[in-house]
């Protein structure tokens, strides 16, 4: 049997779920062929909806003069694409004409975002009307479908829209023509099209003249386009049993789906994409970042498989509705019951595929639960055992030196503030006392050193420089009167675990709990 685009496209989605999502500005730019365009910059042909480019109000048909300061007319298409793709933020200089000498030229900076792409392609100096077309290569009488319309093309100017059907080209029915024959007819110098919507109730006729730099290309239907809607336009030319049998055959495990792979091979590849990282989790369960990525990936597969089953049952429903076998209110269960009871050729392939996906969903759901349950318990235990951060302040090393050295006397230590003693502080152990040490600094270096008491369990030898790091918290003062009758202060600190400091500087990240 020949390929069936809808399920081919759906399986292609599943095969690529584990890949990183594409990032881009949402711009499709072209470089025209012909001698007159040898040194021309890129031209913006189309912009994806809701993309960074659309949000920046970049006009169609303007020229990209430079990308990050590099002139596009001096670069190859590949060079331009690499400049766009290899940076998070891109500076574009765009102009309505092919050089910078225009008062409307604009310089702007945009950021690549997930879900959008950057496309640059060469457009030969051919003549076309700008239609992307596709014909389902099945053993059925099927019309030609318009899957895309180029911006600024004769087809767009005439008002032709994508996701509509071409019934006739120059008065020849497309139901009886191959895709290649349709494409050849579309390249005639003069073109007459009979076009209708998916319900075949709004027929319009167009006369078009092909123009240079616009093509008529064979393109597959984009995501979200439902094949079954088109069934209304050609169901009268094909018996129900034949349409269903053709559709169900595309679920045959040995069916050559895409890229030379069968349905069975694609399904096994999907399983391995999750099984391998799942085994890594089993051998090393405490990598929470890995666990979270795997957990999210599994749930993506689950969501996609559920959506696939929903789409495909909906497709069968729409086919049956078009033949009057079911009404629009039919539930998924009713559709599935009809399939299981109807004696339609190849229906077992479809039923087995739906059930197989349900089995995969249940398996992956159990895997995701295992990963989440373990990770939540692990992170909860980590959080409970982590030292509590009780200090409301964070003060850097220099502040402690200012206290120790007697500088900025008006600046007093902050209650419960964290300080760090390092070798740079020049802290000298004056004396070990009960419960801690007295610190000062070299009197030959400073005229007004202070005395600091640090409550600690560490033991020090008198007259030893304190060189290793110590995290301390200010805890108040001792006051005393010296032999000359002068009141003095001893700054009182207490040592705390280093986690008290590091938890302030590098907060612990939790992936499964808050």
Helix, strand or coil for residue 266?
Answer: helix
Please tell me the distance from the alpha carbon of residue 179 to that of residue 146, in angstroms, as a whole number: 12
Give helix then strand counts, H and E, for the chain.
13, 27
Q: CA torsion 469→473→474→479, rounded to 10°?
A: -70
3-state secondary structure of 372: helix
> Which homologous superfamily is 23-116 in?
PDZ domain (2.30.42.10)
Residues in the chain: 514
Question: Residue 437: beta bridge partners?
Answer: 432, 454
CATH superfamily of 127-234: PDZ domain (2.30.42.10)
> Which pLDDT does position 7 carry in this prediction?
34
Q: How many CB atoms sit inside 10 A of residue 324's CB?
A: 9
Contact call for residues 349 and 253 (beta carbons, < 8 A): yes
Give pLDDT, residue 504.
64
Quote the Cα angle for 16-19-25, to 5°: 105
Global confidence as pTM: 0.55
Q: What is the pLDDT of residue 13?
A: 29
In this prediction, residue 6 carries a pLDDT of: 33
- Position 294 scores a pLDDT of 95
Token couple for 387: 């030292």
Other beta carbons less than 10 A from residue 208's beta carbon: 21
Q: Are 207 and 160 in contact (CB under 8 A)?
A: no
Name the burial class of residue 285, with classes exposed (0-12), middle (13-18) and buried (19+) by CB atoms within 10 angstroms of its CB.
Answer: middle
Whole-number pLDDT of residue 423: 66
Q: Give the strand pairing for 27-32 and 118-123.
A: parallel
| The pair of three-digit structure tokens given for residue 4, joined into one six-digit string | 């069936």
Using an 8 Å Cβ cutoff, are 417 and 391 in contact?
yes
pLDDT of residue 274: 92
Phi, psi of 458 (to 5 degrees): -70, 150
Helix axes 332-341, 288-322, angle to 10 degrees: 70
Q: Which three-class secondary structure state does DSSP give residue 172?
A: strand
User: Which residue has tokens 């749930």?
Assistant: 299
Q: Return the structure tokens found at 391.
A: 């200090």
Contact 276, 369 (CB under 8 A): no
Give 3-state DSSP helix, strand, coil % of the chain, rounded to 5.
Answer: 35, 25, 40
CB 153 within 8 A of CB 211: yes
DSSP element (H, E) containing 148:
strand 144-149
Quote the CA–CA distance of 380 and 383 in Å, as a whole number: 5
Q: What is the 3-state secondary structure (H, E, C) of 71-117?
A: EHHHCCHHHHHHHHHCCCEEEEEEECCCCCCCCCCEEEEEECEECCC
Helix (H, G, I), strand (E, B) or coil at 194: strand
CB atoms within 10 A of CB 46: 18
Q: What is the pLDDT along the chain (514 residues), one digit of tens a residue?
A: 333 333 333 333 233 333 334 788 999 998 888 766 777 899 998 899 889 999 999 998 899 999 998 999 888 888 999 999 877 889 999 999 887 778 888 899 999 988 888 999 888 888 889 998 887 656 777 788 888 898 888 999 999 998 888 999 999 998 888 888 888 888 888 899 999 887 777 899 999 999 888 888 877 655 444 454 555 555 667 888 888 888 888 889 998 766 678 889 988 988 998 999 999 999 999 999 999 999 999 999 999 999 999 988 988 888 888 788 999 899 999 998 999 888 889 999 999 999 999 999 999 999 999 999 999 999 999 888 876 666 555 555 456 777 777 765 556 677 777 787 776 677 888 888 888 888 888 766 566 778 889 998 877 776 677 766 788 888 888 887 877 777 788 889 988 877 767 666 666 788 999 8
Give the DSSP per-residue string, 434-496: TTEEEEE--TTT-SS--EEEEE-S----TT-B--S-EEEEEEEEEEEE-TTS-EEEEEEEEE-
Instruction: Report residue 462 CA to chain centroid gap.
Output: 61
């Amino acid at each position: 049997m020949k390929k069936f685009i809808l399920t081919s496209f759906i399986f292609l989605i599943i095969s690529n779920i584990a890949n990183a999502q594409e990032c881009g500005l949402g711009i499709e730019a072209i470089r025209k062929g012909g001698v007159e365009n040898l040194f021309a910059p890129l031209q913006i042909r189309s912009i994806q909806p809701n993309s960074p480019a659309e949000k920046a109000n970049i006009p169609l048909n303007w020229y990209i003069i430079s990308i990050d300061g590099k002139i596009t007319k001096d670069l190859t298409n590949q060079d331009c694409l690499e400049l766009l793709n290899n940076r998070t933020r891109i500076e574009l200089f765009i102009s309505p004409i092919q050089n910078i000498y225009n008062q409307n030229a604009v310089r702007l900076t945009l950021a690549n975002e997930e879900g959008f792409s950057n496309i640059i392609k060469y457009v030969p100096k051919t003549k076309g009307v700008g239609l992307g077309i596709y014909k389902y290569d099945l053993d059925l009488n099927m019309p030609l479908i318009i899957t895309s319309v180029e911006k600024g093309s004769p087809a767009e100017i005439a008002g032709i829209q994508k996701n509509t059907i071409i019934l006739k080209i120059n008065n020849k029915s497309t139901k009886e023509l191959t895709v290649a024959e349709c494409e050849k007819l579309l390249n005639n110098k003069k073109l007459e099209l009979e076009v209708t919507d998916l319900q075949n109730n709004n027929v319009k006729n167009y006369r078009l003249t092909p123009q240079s730099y616009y093509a008529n290309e064979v393109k597959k239907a984009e995501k979200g386009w439902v094949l079954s809607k088109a069934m209304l336009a050609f169901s009268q030319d094909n018996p129900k049993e034949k349409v269903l049998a053709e559709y169900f055959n595309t679920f045959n495990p040995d069916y050559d789906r895409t890229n030379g792979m069968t349905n069975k091979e694609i399904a096994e590849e999907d399983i391995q994409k999750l099984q391998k990282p799942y085994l890594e989790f089993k051998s090393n369960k405490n990598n929470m970042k890995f666990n979270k990525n795997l957990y999210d990936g599994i749930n993506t597969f689950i969501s996609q498989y559920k959506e696939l089953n929903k789409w495909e049952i909906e497709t069968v429903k729409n086919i049956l509705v078009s033949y009057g076998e079911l009404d629009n209110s039919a539930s998924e269960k009713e559709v599935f019951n009809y399939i299981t009871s109807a004696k339609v050729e190849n229906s077992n392939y479809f039923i087995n595929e739906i059930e197989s996906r349900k089995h995969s969903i249940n398996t992956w759901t159990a895997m995701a639960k295992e990963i989440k349950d373990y990770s939540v318990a692990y992170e909860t235990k980590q959080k409970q055992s982590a030292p509590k951060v009780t200090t409301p302040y964070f003060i850097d090393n220099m502040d402690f030196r200012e206290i120790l050295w007697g500088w900025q006397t008006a600046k007093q230590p902050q209650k419960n503030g964290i300080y760090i003693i390092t070798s740079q502080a020049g802290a000298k152990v004056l004396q070990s006392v009960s419960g801690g040490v007295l610190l000062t600094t070299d009197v030959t270096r400073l005229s007004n050193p202070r005395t600091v008491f640090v409550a600690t369990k560490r033991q020090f030898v008198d007259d030893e420089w304190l060189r290793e790091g110590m995290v301390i918290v200010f805890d108040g003062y001792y006051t005393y009167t010296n032999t000359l009758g002068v009141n003095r202060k001893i700054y009182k600190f207490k040592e705390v675990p280093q986690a008290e400091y590091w938890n302030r500087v590098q907060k612990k990240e939790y992936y499964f709990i808050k």
